[in-house]
Structure 1
């Protein structure tokens, strides 16, 4: 059962995170070929991250907690991803900006589903070893992020610069990938192996959720503010052309997290989640600031190594504090309001600042948020003790 859950969530994570990097690549296409301004792109990216997803994520997760149908609801999210990408392709064909916004908003809604539900399934199943399991799962998400920029631009070249068919093909892939999650019903036991004191747990849980949501928000303002404009930053400021080579450079940067997620997840199990979460947040900020001064691909890879480690770290902290039967809802607050909310604000800030200055200066401004978030991690209390369960027991 454990291996089935890990496999199913990993496939969904690959598709979900891969699709999410289709849009930064395509945003550069919209700027370069369709003449959209960076401010419009920032708003469009904000629609993806906020749209309805930050508001509906807790609701979706609450339904999953109540029905215990995590896999089926997760599959609906991947299915909606496929529909949104196909709709996006048609919107490009028609060149209708309102339809582009609708397709991106639907994709944002689709992105609501995976992270809180996948994390809940793994946290409930693996318990004391959740950090490592989430790291393995997260590396599949990182693999999707690493492959999709090159895949998107590779198809773009093979299809004679036809982004319409490119989008439709990736949409069909998502629909096919959703089928296993929709078919297989997986029931998860939610019994806590060792109850903890209810009053004290409730007070500490509330404070942790609040602090984690704030740090997630600030970290995402930084991370997504940078990420959504990264291809455009490389094209406009560092001499790259809009072709497969651009995809390869971004893929190299994102591939670092394939190793980073399981490694940092394992370290979080061994030496402390708060410490590793704080180090990764600070490391991401320092790496990006260094890259903006010295544009070396190894520094970009270091940014990817640290920045995309949030999934196993922050959500395993949630799992340490929250009762199993509420983990999906708690994850949705941290991920939906924090990560998604910050992801909505960050690109708008970068787009607005770069419209009157440049992308390098705008990136430097949002990097400040990473340093503030790293400092706030120190406020997270130590987790209550729970009994450990063997990783493959």
Structure 2
């Protein structure tokens, strides 16, 4: 019985000897002296403290005074419950964590500890000085942990707010809000880029947690100056600003963060207002992407013009007419007739030459000119399909105008 009770009994923590009444009285009577010495030492030893605004210095001074006063209470009753967070930091405004880093807060704590340690010979008898120094060190450890907790809570709150604000900015771009509103919202999240903006869209992975978003943002900043991440249901949206030279490699790398399925990026936007058009093109491409089963991942929204036209995207029709059909017609020199015949005869150079009564080299030259003018090569099957769609869209548009 005795063995079982001794085995199950909780180990007792040895009680610390109580401080002498004389030392406690000295500590209480020296509170003003210690606070004054601490503030003076802060001003002398910490350059960043001298550069603070008056209200910030006042808040930090109050923290220092509360910390010293709480030490006396804790030294008298070291087993008191959770006191540090409320007693020491309760009076400090939350905004203080934005202007004072955790590193500076720990420097402040270290400075105050030095002041108290230097005053130990005047506060305790020689027999009790060692115990008082140890108590100061234990107390400073508790305050340091409490400071870390304050900053961790502030970071969590700020991170949650920043994520909500970031989602609002992405939503504003998708809805095409006014330029002034966009500038205001972008400034709120620290966005600085005014050009080189791209929008990537695709499926959101199942585990779209805060760590995932943070990792995606860090990866994005390797290829762009600015990045915003938005998750809307099952869709993941990444907005990149100030794209560097290796944009293609960046898109390919970032596509790995999306869920399985198509990933589409919109055309380059040279203004915040144009970013809305890039986003709309990317979403239109994402909706039409299943029609092109051999599409690369990621795919440019402009590479999906034919599929977007079939899907009913009017902006793709206008783009094909303005960027492909119109330039070919304007160039003249038989380009439109040669391209039409070439596509209609199954991509036969010789058949096109016979039909037009020209040499095959002339057909090759004209098709090369089409590629130079539009950026789409008729000799490549996929790009020939884009050109074929552009011819159909352009002629339909001309027919509608004629009517």
Instruction: Please classify the TM superposition score into its range, dividing by the shorter chain length.
Output: under 0.3
Whose relative contact order is higher, 1 or 2, with alpha carbons under 8 Å and at least 6 apart? Answer: 1
Using structure 1 for the length normalisation, give the TM-score. 0.23
More helix by share: 1
More strand by share: 2
Q: Which has the greater radius of gyration?
A: 2
